[in-house]
Amino acid sequence: MAGMTISKLIQKKAAGEKITSLTAYDATFAKLFAQCGIDFMLVGDSLGNVVQGQTSTLPVTVEQIVYHTEAVRRGAPDAFVIADMPFMTCATPEQACLEAAKLMRAGANMVKLEGGEWLVDTIRMLVERSVPVCAHLGLMPQSVNVLGGYKVQGREQAMAENTVRQALAVQQAGAQMLVLECVPTELGELISSKLSIPVIGIGAGAKTDGQILVMHDMFGLNSDYIPKFVKNFLAETSDLTAAVQLYIQQVKDGSFPGPEHSFE
Other beta carbons within 10 Å of 193: 11
Region of 170 (left: φ > 0; alpha: ψ -120 to 50; beta: rest) is alpha
CATH number at residue 73: 3.20.20.60
Binding residues are 45-46, 84, 112, 114
Cα gap 240→87, rounded to integer Å: 31
Q: What is the pLDDT of residue 2?
A: 53
Secondary structure (DSSP) of 43-101:
E-TTHHHHTT--SSSTT--HHHHHHHHHHHHHH-TTS-EEEE--TTTTSSHHHHHHHHH
Binding residues for 3-methyl-2-oxobutanoate are 45-46, 84, 112
Q: What is the pLDDT of residue 1?
A: 43
From 70, 128, 181, 260, the catalytic residue: 181
Is residue 186 annotated as part of the catalytic site, yes or no? Answer: no
Q: What is the pLDDT of residue 146?
A: 72
Q: Please, are residues 200 and 177 in contact by the beta-carbon 8 Å criterion?
A: yes
Q: What is the pLDDT of residue 119?
A: 97
* pLDDT tens for each residue of the chain, 264 residues long: 458 999 999 999 999 999 999 999 999 999 999 999 999 999 999 999 999 999 999 999 999 999 999 999 999 999 999 999 999 999 999 999 999 999 999 999 999 999 999 999 999 999 999 999 999 999 988 787 776 666 788 899 999 999 999 999 999 999 999 999 999 999 999 999 999 999 999 999 999 999 999 999 999 997 677 889 999 999 999 899 999 999 999 999 999 999 999 998
**Does residue 44 belong to any structural domain of this protein?**
yes
**Does residue 132 belong to any structural domain of this protein?**
yes
**Does residue 102 belong to any structural domain of this protein?**
yes
Determine the structural domain holding residue 157 and report its residue range.
6-261
Binding residues for Mg(2+) are 45, 84, 114
Q: What is the pLDDT of residue 149?
A: 64
- Taking the whole predicted model, whether its pTM rises above 0.85 is answered as yes
**Does residue 1 belong to any structural domain of this protein?**
no
Beta 40-43 vs 81-84: how paired, if at all? parallel
Q: What is the pLDDT of residue 224?
A: 73
Number of domains making up the chain = 1
